[in-house]
Structure 1
Protein backbone atom coordinates (compact mmCIF):
# COMPACT_ATOMS: atom_id res chain seq x y z
CA UNK A 1 0.00 0.00 0.00
CA UNK A 2 2.15 2.89 1.25
CA UNK A 3 5.26 1.06 2.34
CA UNK A 4 7.15 -1.63 0.52
CA UNK A 5 8.33 -3.88 3.35
CA UNK A 6 9.55 -7.38 2.77
CA UNK A 7 9.74 -10.25 5.26
CA UNK A 8 13.37 -9.43 6.13
CA UNK A 9 12.59 -5.81 6.99
CA UNK A 10 9.59 -6.77 9.12
CA UNK A 11 11.66 -9.39 10.98
CA UNK A 12 14.44 -6.84 11.51
CA UNK A 13 11.99 -4.27 12.87
CA UNK A 14 10.55 -6.89 15.22
CA UNK A 15 13.99 -7.79 16.58
CA UNK A 16 14.83 -4.10 16.97
CA UNK A 17 11.55 -3.50 18.83
CA UNK A 18 12.26 -6.39 21.22
CA UNK A 19 15.74 -5.01 21.92
CA UNK A 20 14.66 -1.37 22.38
CA UNK A 21 11.36 -1.88 24.22
CA UNK A 22 11.91 -5.20 25.88
CA UNK A 23 9.87 -8.37 25.58
CA UNK A 24 7.78 -7.63 28.68
CA UNK A 25 6.49 -4.26 27.43
CA UNK A 26 6.19 -5.13 23.74
CA UNK A 27 2.64 -6.61 23.90
CA UNK A 28 1.28 -3.48 25.61
CA UNK A 29 3.07 -1.29 23.07
CA UNK A 30 1.47 -3.27 20.25
CA UNK A 31 -1.98 -2.85 21.84
CA UNK A 32 -1.43 0.90 22.24
CA UNK A 33 -0.25 1.20 18.63
CA UNK A 34 -3.33 -0.67 17.39
CA UNK A 35 -5.60 1.64 19.42
CA UNK A 36 -3.82 4.68 17.98
CA UNK A 37 -4.21 3.41 14.42
CA UNK A 38 -7.90 2.68 15.05
CA UNK A 39 -8.42 6.20 16.45
CA UNK A 40 -6.63 7.85 13.51
CA UNK A 41 -8.65 5.79 11.03
CA UNK A 42 -11.91 6.78 12.76
CA UNK A 43 -10.90 10.45 12.69
CA UNK A 44 -10.06 10.24 8.99
CA UNK A 45 -13.40 8.57 8.19
CA UNK A 46 -15.23 11.18 10.26
CA UNK A 47 -13.44 14.04 8.52
CA UNK A 48 -14.17 12.56 5.09
CA UNK A 49 -17.86 12.10 5.83
CA UNK A 50 -18.09 15.62 7.26
CA UNK A 51 -16.41 17.01 4.16
CA UNK A 52 -18.84 15.13 1.90
CA UNK A 53 -21.75 16.49 3.92
CA UNK A 54 -20.50 20.08 3.80
CA UNK A 55 -19.71 20.03 0.08
CA UNK A 56 -23.25 19.00 -0.74
CA UNK A 57 -24.63 17.11 -3.72
CA UNK A 58 -22.27 15.91 -6.39
CA UNK A 59 -19.55 14.86 -3.97
CA UNK A 60 -21.06 11.61 -2.64
CA UNK A 61 -18.26 9.56 -4.17
CA UNK A 62 -15.49 11.74 -2.72
CA UNK A 63 -12.50 9.86 -1.37
CA UNK A 64 -9.44 11.25 0.42
CA UNK A 65 -7.26 10.48 -2.59
CA UNK A 66 -9.45 12.84 -4.64
CA UNK A 67 -8.29 15.72 -2.48
CA UNK A 68 -4.80 15.63 -3.91
CA UNK A 69 -4.68 18.45 -6.49
CA UNK A 70 -3.27 16.29 -9.27
CA UNK A 71 -5.91 13.57 -8.84
CA UNK A 72 -8.67 16.17 -8.41
CA UNK A 73 -7.77 17.92 -11.66
CA UNK A 74 -7.41 14.64 -13.58
CA UNK A 75 -10.84 13.47 -12.40
CA UNK A 76 -12.59 16.70 -13.37
CA UNK A 77 -10.85 16.93 -16.74
CA UNK A 78 -11.85 13.34 -17.49
CA UNK A 79 -15.46 14.13 -16.55
CA UNK A 80 -15.45 17.21 -18.76
CA UNK A 81 -14.01 15.26 -21.70
CA UNK A 82 -16.65 12.55 -21.21
CA UNK A 83 -19.37 15.21 -21.34
CA UNK A 84 -17.91 16.69 -24.52
CA UNK A 85 -17.71 13.23 -26.12
CA UNK A 86 -21.29 12.49 -25.13
CA UNK A 87 -22.45 15.80 -26.59
CA UNK A 88 -20.62 15.12 -29.86
CA UNK A 89 -22.10 11.63 -30.14
CA UNK A 90 -25.64 12.78 -29.39
CA UNK A 91 -27.94 12.84 -32.42
CA UNK A 92 -28.21 16.26 -33.98
CA UNK A 93 -31.53 17.50 -35.14
CA UNK A 94 -31.82 20.10 -37.82
CA UNK A 95 -34.92 22.04 -36.93
CA UNK A 96 -36.55 23.64 -39.93
CA UNK A 97 -38.86 26.54 -39.60
CA UNK A 98 -42.15 26.16 -41.40
CA UNK A 99 -42.35 29.05 -43.90
CA UNK A 100 -46.15 29.03 -43.69
CA UNK A 101 -46.18 30.08 -40.05
CA UNK A 102 -46.66 33.81 -39.37
Structure 2
Protein backbone atom coordinates (compact mmCIF):
# COMPACT_ATOMS: atom_id res chain seq x y z
CA UNK A 1 0.00 0.00 0.00
CA UNK A 2 2.70 2.50 0.97
CA UNK A 3 5.48 0.80 -1.00
CA UNK A 4 8.06 0.98 1.78
CA UNK A 5 11.24 -1.05 1.74
CA UNK A 6 12.95 -2.66 4.74
CA UNK A 7 15.44 0.19 5.10
CA UNK A 8 12.68 2.78 5.12
CA UNK A 9 10.71 0.89 7.76
CA UNK A 10 13.81 0.60 9.95
CA UNK A 11 14.48 4.32 9.48
CA UNK A 12 10.93 5.18 10.52
CA UNK A 13 11.25 2.90 13.54
CA UNK A 14 14.46 4.65 14.65
CA UNK A 15 12.88 8.08 14.16
CA UNK A 16 9.88 6.90 16.19
CA UNK A 17 12.10 5.76 19.04
CA UNK A 18 13.95 9.08 19.07
CA UNK A 19 10.83 11.27 18.89
CA UNK A 20 8.48 9.31 21.12
CA UNK A 21 10.74 7.21 23.25
CA UNK A 22 10.89 3.45 23.58
CA UNK A 23 8.34 3.38 26.42
CA UNK A 24 5.43 4.96 24.52
CA UNK A 25 6.25 3.65 21.03
CA UNK A 26 4.20 0.39 21.28
CA UNK A 27 1.10 2.30 22.43
CA UNK A 28 1.43 4.85 19.65
CA UNK A 29 1.99 2.11 17.06
CA UNK A 30 -1.15 0.31 18.27
CA UNK A 31 -3.14 3.57 18.09
CA UNK A 32 -1.86 4.20 14.56
CA UNK A 33 -2.84 0.68 13.51
CA UNK A 34 -6.33 1.13 14.97
CA UNK A 35 -6.67 4.43 13.11
CA UNK A 36 -5.68 2.82 9.80
CA UNK A 37 -8.17 -0.02 10.30
CA UNK A 38 -10.90 2.47 11.19
CA UNK A 39 -10.10 4.63 8.13
CA UNK A 40 -10.19 1.58 5.88
CA UNK A 41 -13.59 0.54 7.30
CA UNK A 42 -14.93 4.07 6.81
CA UNK A 43 -13.78 4.12 3.18
CA UNK A 44 -15.35 0.71 2.54
CA UNK A 45 -18.56 1.85 4.22
CA UNK A 46 -18.68 4.98 2.07
CA UNK A 47 -18.15 2.90 -1.07
CA UNK A 48 -20.94 0.49 -0.11
CA UNK A 49 -23.28 3.37 0.72
CA UNK A 50 -22.57 5.00 -2.63
CA UNK A 51 -23.36 1.75 -4.45
CA UNK A 52 -26.57 1.33 -2.45
CA UNK A 53 -27.73 4.89 -3.15
CA UNK A 54 -27.10 4.62 -6.89
CA UNK A 55 -29.72 1.92 -7.14
CA UNK A 56 -30.08 -1.10 -9.40
CA UNK A 57 -27.80 -1.46 -12.36
CA UNK A 58 -24.70 -0.16 -10.60
CA UNK A 59 -23.78 -3.24 -8.56
CA UNK A 60 -20.59 -3.81 -10.54
CA UNK A 61 -19.47 -0.17 -10.26
CA UNK A 62 -15.85 0.29 -9.22
CA UNK A 63 -14.77 3.46 -7.44
CA UNK A 64 -11.79 3.82 -9.78
CA UNK A 65 -14.30 4.03 -12.65
CA UNK A 66 -15.53 7.33 -11.19
CA UNK A 67 -12.16 8.96 -11.87
CA UNK A 68 -12.82 11.38 -14.77
CA UNK A 69 -9.50 10.63 -16.44
CA UNK A 70 -10.16 6.88 -16.46
CA UNK A 71 -13.76 7.41 -17.59
CA UNK A 72 -12.72 9.55 -20.57
CA UNK A 73 -9.93 7.19 -21.62
CA UNK A 74 -12.28 4.23 -21.48
CA UNK A 75 -15.05 5.83 -23.52
CA UNK A 76 -12.84 7.62 -26.04
CA UNK A 77 -10.86 4.42 -26.50
CA UNK A 78 -14.10 2.55 -27.24
CA UNK A 79 -15.08 5.12 -29.89
CA UNK A 80 -11.66 5.07 -31.54
CA UNK A 81 -11.62 1.27 -31.61
CA UNK A 82 -15.07 1.21 -33.24
CA UNK A 83 -14.26 3.74 -35.98
CA UNK A 84 -10.70 2.69 -36.95
CA UNK A 85 -9.68 6.11 -38.21
CA UNK A 86 -7.14 6.22 -41.03
CA UNK A 87 -5.13 9.30 -40.14
CA UNK A 88 -2.25 10.33 -42.39
CA UNK A 89 0.47 12.47 -40.84
CA UNK A 90 0.61 16.03 -42.10
CA UNK A 91 3.90 17.10 -43.71
CA UNK A 92 5.91 19.51 -41.62
CA UNK A 93 7.18 21.38 -44.68
CA UNK A 94 4.97 22.71 -47.41
CA UNK A 95 5.54 20.42 -50.45
CA UNK A 96 5.20 23.40 -52.84
CA UNK A 97 8.33 24.95 -51.38
CA UNK A 98 10.48 21.93 -52.24
Instruction: Please give the TM-score of this superposition, normalised by the length of structure 1.
Output: 0.66
Equivalent residue for 1:56? 55
* CA displacement at 1:9 relative to structure 2: 1.2
* CA displacement at 1:65 relative to structure 2: 1.8
CA distance in 1, matches of 2:74, 2:47: 18
Equivalent residue for 2:92? none
In the alignment, structure 1 segments of 5+ residues that lack a partner are: 86-102
CA distance in 1, matches of 2:57, 2:72: 16
Q: Determine which structure has more spread, i.e. the larger CA radius of gyration.
A: 1
Aligned length: 81
* CA displacement at 1:54 relative to structure 2: 1.2
In the alignment, structure 2 segments of 5+ residues that lack a partner are: 84-98
CA-based RMSD of the aligned residues comes to 2.1
Shift >2 Å, 4+ stretches = 72-78
